[in-house]
Structures are given as structure tokens and as C-alpha cells.
Structure 1
Amino acid sequence: MIVRRNLKFKLILFYTWKQLLYYILLSTTVFILHEYYQVVFFDIPSYTIAALGTAVAIFLGFKNDHAYDRWWEARKIWGLMVNYSRAWTRQVITMIIPQSPEEETEVQRLHTIMVYRHIAFVNALRVFLRRRLPYNPDQKELFQDENTYRDAQPFLDRSEYDTFKNKDNPPNFLLQKQGEDLKMAYQRGWLSDYRFVKMEETLVDFNDIQGMSERIKNTPLPRQYTFFSRAFVIIHCTLLPMVFISELGWKTIPISVIVSFVFLSLDLIGERTEDPFENRLEDTPMTSLSTTIETNLREQLNEDKSSFPEKYKIENGIVF
């Protein structure tokens, strides 16, 4: 997620230089052909291109509005993940109660296992949602390169991790294991009927969070919006210098490029906002949220703060 208020120009150029180069060359070519070779381009009235620009702007606004809704929904979902994670840890610690002093050590060990397994679940879900974009040093894109299931390994025992990493849906496997431990605690008398039901409801909440995240991940914004918005922007910006040249002369070049850049930026913002789980710099900061969850939960276990992970740092105005 980009948190810097002012974007660096080199970052903007990273994603737009090819299109800007096209518009600069197009405007320059139109100017040269018109001024030195008296080539007559389409005699299109200026109000026509203004009407087309208005239509394109409305279309882009509609697309960007829906793209932002998807991004904001993803952020709210992971906000729920933070809240429910704290609640789950509190329930594990306060609701799973030993029946005798001899069982206290065993119950405390179960507390740690279940809380740690939840931290593994959070990390696993983050990787599961980003798994379609693995790190590729040859791919010219800006995203976080450390995105593997190894982040869950410190919180699971060896045999459970070996089983977990080979599952088709690793996060769901961990929720299943949590349910099995709840069943065991109930059978041992450490949970009453009511407490068992309440904790199972919290596990269902985590299922809902995963399902809502998968819905956003697996159901993209209808591709006709992306295709036609890009096509309309290209058509509009290609016609601009041909309409301006007879009235503006050499001024056609800077004005056409500036107007084209505005429409290009609007289209690019929507395109890169609509999918918030692609492990790109504009996406939901799941790594940062995972670190926050781990710190909060281990603090609830009264662990030594010196062993907590470092607070996630903002680098170059970006939080992953």
C-alpha cells in the first residue's frame, strides 16, 4: 500500500513511460507532417473530441469507483482479521480451563499451540492469496519478494508443517486442526458446551474472512471494463493531436501529452487498484498486518517482548 502523500515521478514513469513515449512521438509526428509536409488530418471539430473525452472520463470514473470498492473491502476484511485474531487469543486463554492443577501445564501448552497455529494461519492466508504472483527477478514489477509458506514454519511443529505445506488449501487445513483441538478440549472437560460453541463461531468467522478474500481474489472486475476503458483512452488520446494541430500548432505536442497523461493515469489507477491481493505496491498491506497480529497475540501470551518481530517499516513510502 502506498502511504506517501507525494508520489515520486520516477515511480510514475516506471509504469507509464511506454505510453507517454507513444503520445510524444505521435504528437511530434503529427506536427511535423502538418507543418512541413502540409498533410491534412481528419477535419474533426474540437467539440467532438470534447464530447468523447467526457464520455471516456465518465466511463473511467465508473471503473475506478468499483475498483476502489474492491480495494477498500479487502482492507476491511483484513481489519476484521486483526480484531478476530485478538478475540480468538483471548478466548483460547480464558475459556479453555483445566479441571485440576495437574492439567494446568498441559492446558497452557495447548494455549500456545492454538495461538501459534493461528499466527501460522494468518501468514498462510496471506501467501495463499498472493500465490499466483511468485517472486521472479526477471519480471519488471515492484512487489515484495519474500512471500512463502516458510513464514508459518516457526509456529507449527515439524510434522504438522510438512503436512500443511502440501495441502491444496493450507489455511483451511489449519482451521480444521484448530477445530480438532477444540473437540479434544471439550472431550477433556476443559470447555463447556457454551464455550465450545462460542469458539467454534470464531473459527467460522475466520472461514468467512478467508472466503471473502478468495471471492475478491478469484472474481476480477469484469474484463470488459478494463478492455474498453483502455481502448477508449487510446482512441481518444490518438485523436487529440489530429484535432488540435490546426488551431494550436507546435503547442499541440505538450498539450496533447498532458491531456493524454491525465486519461492514462485514470485508467492505470483503476487497473492497478481492482485486484488488492496481487502482491503489488498498491495492494492491501497484509505483511504489515500479519506482523501486527503476531505481536499482539504473543503479547497476550505474556511472552518476552525482546522476541517479538520488528515493527514493519515503511520503505520508500510503501507498506506491503
Structure 2
Amino acid sequence: MLIKKYYSIKDMTFWTRHETLLFILIASIPTVAYVIFAQKWLVLPWTPIALVGTAVAFVVGFRNNAVYDRLWEGRKIWGGIVNSSRSFSILVSDTVTNEYANDSNKLSEEELKKERITIIYRHLAWLTALRYAMRTKKQWETFMEHKTNREWASRINIPEFEIDEKEAISEYLSDAELAIVMKAPNKCTVIQKLQSQHLRKLKERGLIWEFSFLALEGHLKDLIALQGKSERIKNFPYPRQYASLNVYFVWIFLLLLPLGIIPEFAKIGQIVAESFPIIGKYFVWFSIPFSTLVSWVFHTMERIGTVGENPFEGSGNDVPISTIARGIEIDIRTCVEEDPENIPKPFEVRLNIQM
């Protein structure tokens, strides 16, 4: 997720450089044919093109609004995960005690701390599995198919693309639990099942009060609900009919645009020639940079919508789930009084972008 005020012109130029060259070519071909080869028939009335442009602007705006709603919903879901994780860790640190245990079931303070850390680590395993699930590529996700998008992703180094999932989860689970989890199609759900079983066993031994057990189970229920909401966004794409038609309409407009701009600039050139003959003679050539600029604006807005369709895909404008998850890890490991030396540092912010 972008954390600076704005992208610089340099950033935007780098990101759209291939399209910009294509727009220059599209604008240049009919202009050369019109001026050099006197193909005066290569023109269209400006009014219908302007109407098409207006319709395209509405379609692009509609899509970008819908895409932003998906992004903002994803951020609210992960904000909920932050809150529930903190509450869960506080409950674990304060409710796993010997207060209601029989003498035969009581544990030493060191053993109680180990139980708390085991629960917290299992929660971190769930969080890790969830962020890897959100980064898994779906058939309809096209962000990485574009060269400049891959360049950005490689520069910000998304952890889920560089570290194997099993290796990441293994930091938080025992070998036996890891083997169970890695076989499951939905690793997150299995981890929460293991978590619930562990809490129940502690309750049966009197190490968790029954009402505290219900409170902890309630948090697991909330976390599973948030997981389902996040999966809903991940597994249901922005409707293809809107996405596809949006691209087609934009490109139809971009191809027609020079044919409407050229005659308009030719007319302006005739007027300018009355006062500035030299400028007026060549004024029609200014249609190339103007067409390029208008094309760049429309296409860039359409492309922003494309890269924002899937808010967990890994672009610089997505929900920064890696950074959020690491922040949660730091908070909850602190809650169970783990050695600060063992608590990881926040992910590095690169190119002013959170991961």
C-alpha cells in the first residue's frame, strides 16, 4: 500500500513507458498519412468521438469506484484481524492459569508460559497461512503478466513470493502439526481446528476457566469469519463482463482519438497561420503529443483499475497484508512477554511502499 503522498512523474513514466511509446505510434501514423501523404480522408467528426470519450470516462469511473470498494473492504477485514488478534493474545496471556486447576493438573509458571506461547504461535501460523493463501495466484489475476508490474514487485520484494510457505509456517508449529496442516487444502481452517482442540484440552484440565474458554472460542469464531470475508474477495473476481468491456471501450476510443484530433488541429493551424505562418504550417503536428497525453490519461486510469481489482495480489497499491501480519506478530508476541531479542523487526519499507 502506497504510503507517500503521491507517485512522482518519474514513477508513473517508468510504470507506463511501454504504453506511452505505443500511444505515440498510434498518433503518429495517421498524422504522417494526413500531412505527408495527403490522405485527407483519414479523419472523423470530433463530436461522436467526444461522446464515446464521455461514455468511456463513465465506464472507467464506475469500475475504479467498484475496485476501490474491494480494496477498502479488504483493508477493513484485515483491520478486524488486527483487533481480534490483539484481543485474543491478551485473553490467552491472562486466562491460561492454575486458578481453577486441581493440584494434579497445575503447571509451573514456566510451563504455563510455554502453553501460552504455543497458542500464540499457532495463531501466527494461521495468520501466515492466510496471507500465503491471499497471495496465491488465481486464473483471473493478471498483475504479474505485465512486465512493468513484475519489475515493481521484484523491487519491493513481497515475502510470500520469496519464502516457501512450508518454511514460513514451520516457525510456529510442531513437526506433527505441520505435517497435518500442509496436507490440508485449506490450511487456515485446519490450524484453527487444532487451536480449538488445544483450548478444549486446557479447559478440561482446569487451566482455562469455562467462561474464558467460551470467550476464546468466540474470538476463534470471529477470526474464522474474517478469514471467510478475506477469502470471498480473493476467490470472487471483479465481474469479467465489466472488466473486459472496459478494456475494449478504452482501446476503441484510443484508436479513434487521433482521427478526430488531427482535423481539429489542422483548423486551428489555419487560424494561427494568419498571425504566425510558420507555426500555423506545422501546428497539425501538435496533435501527436496531445493525442498521446489524452490516451495516456484514459489508459492509465483503466490500468489503475486493473491492478486494483484484486487487493491481495501483491501490487504497490494493494492491502499490505505482509506488513499488517508482521505488525500483529510483534504485538502479540510482546503480550506473552517473549524475549524481545526473538521478536522480529517490521518489514522494510521499500520505494515508499508497504508490502
Fold conserved (TM > 0.5)? yes
Rounded to whole Å, the distance in 2 between the matches of 1:66 and 1:203 is: 30
| 1:164 to partner: Cα distance | 1.7
Please tell me whether residue 319 in structure 1 is matched to residue 336 in structure 2. Answer: no
Mark the runs of 5 or more structure 2 residues left unpaired by the alignment: 139-143, 266-283
Alignment of 1:128-147 (within 5 A): 128-132=133-137, 140=147, 141=150, 142-143=152-153, 144=158, 145-147=161-163
Rounded to whole Å, the distance in 2 between the matches of 1:285 and 1:33 is: 49
| 1:92 to partner: Cα distance | 1.1
Alignment of 1:202-217 (within 5 A): 202-217=219-234
Q: Which residue of 1 aligns with 2:235?
A: 218
The change in CA–CA distance for 1:73 and 1:205 in structure 2 (over 3 A counts) is same
Please tell me whether residue 16 in structure 1 is matched to residue 11 in structure 2. Answer: no
Candidates 168, 172, 193, aligned match of 2:210? 193
Q: Amino acid of the residue matched to residue 297 of structure 2? A: V
| 1:247 to partner: Cα distance | 2.1
Conservation of the 8 A alpha-carbon contact between 2:95 and 2:208: yes
Conservation of the 8 A alpha-carbon contact between 2:30 and 2:42: no
Please tell me whether residue 231 in structure 1 is matched to residue 266 in structure 2. Answer: no
| 1:97 to partner: Cα distance | 2.4
Candidates 112, 119, 123, aligned match of 2:117? 112
Q: Amino acid of the residue matched to residue 158 of structure 1? A: D
Rounded to whole Å, the distance in 2 between the matches of 1:305 and 1:79 is: 24
TM-score, normalised to structure 1, is 0.93
Conservation of the 8 A alpha-carbon contact between 1:167 and 1:173: yes
Paired residues, what number? Answer: 318
Query: Secondary structure in 2 aligned to 1:277?
Result: coil
Mark the runs of 5 or more structure 1 residues left unpaired by the alignment: none
Q: Which residue of 2 aligns with 1:65?
A: 65
Candidates 95, 103, 106, aligned match of 2:107? 103
**In the TM superposition, what whole-angstrom CA distance separates every residue of 1:168-188 from its partner, at most 9, and x where no partner exists?**
111111100110011101211
| 1:196 to partner: Cα distance | 1.9
Rounded to whole Å, the distance in 2 between the matches of 1:208 and 1:175 is: 12
Rounded to whole Å, the distance in 2 between the matches of 1:26 and 1:108 is: 67
Alignment of 1:154-303 (within 5 A): 154-248=171-265, 249-303=284-338
Identity of aligned residues (%): 31
Conservation of the 8 A alpha-carbon contact between 1:56 and 1:233: yes
Query: Secondary structure in 2 aligned to 1:171?
Result: helix
Rounded to whole Å, the distance in 2 between the matches of 1:155 and 1:89 is: 15
Conservation of the 8 A alpha-carbon contact between 1:120 and 1:152: yes
Query: Secondary structure in 2 aligned to 1:155?
Result: coil
Candidates 107, 126, 129, aligned match of 2:131? 126
Alignment of 1:45-84 (within 5 A): 45-84=45-84
Candidates 155, 161, 170, aligned match of 1:153? 170
Query: Secondary structure in 1 aligned to 2:162?
Result: coil
Q: Amino acid of the residue matched to residue 27 of structure 1? A: A
Rounded to whole Å, the distance in 2 between the matches of 1:206 and 1:256 is: 51
Instruction: Report which stretch shifted further, 46-55 or 208-217.
Output: 46-55
Q: Amino acid of the residue matched to residue 127 of structure 2? A: V
The structure whose Rg is larger is 2
**In the TM superposition, what whole-angstrom CA distance separates every residue of 1:179-209 from its partner, at most 9, and x where no partner exists?**
0011101211223332222111110111111
**In the TM superposition, what whole-angstrom CA distance separates every residue of 1:241-287 from its partner, at most 9, and x where no partner exists?**
10111121111101100000110011011111110111222211111
Q: Which residue of 1 aligns with 2:40?
A: 40
Conservation of the 8 A alpha-carbon contact between 2:113 and 2:336: no
| 1:229 to partner: Cα distance | 0.9
Instruction: Report which stretch shifted further, 5-14 or 271-280.
Output: 5-14
| 1:26 to partner: Cα distance | 1.5
Instruction: Report which stretch shifted further, 308-317 or 71-80.
Output: 308-317
Rounded to whole Å, the distance in 2 between the matches of 1:55 and 1:311 is: 45
| 1:217 to partner: Cα distance | 0.4
Conservation of the 8 A alpha-carbon contact between 2:34 and 2:42: no
| 1:42 to partner: Cα distance | 5.1
Conservation of the 8 A alpha-carbon contact between 1:42 and 1:243: no
**In the TM superposition, what whole-angstrom CA distance separates every residue of 1:101-159 from its partner, at most 9, and x where no partner exists?**
742444332111001111111111101111227xxx99841322324322222111122
Rounded to whole Å, the distance in 2 between the matches of 1:128 and 1:267 is: 27
The change in CA–CA distance for 1:15 and 1:177 in structure 2 (over 3 A counts) is same
**In the TM superposition, what whole-angstrom CA distance separates every residue of 1:45-78 from its partner, at most 9, and x where no partner exists?**
2222222111111111110001000001111111
Instruction: Report which stretch shifted further, 169-178 or 37-46.
Output: 37-46
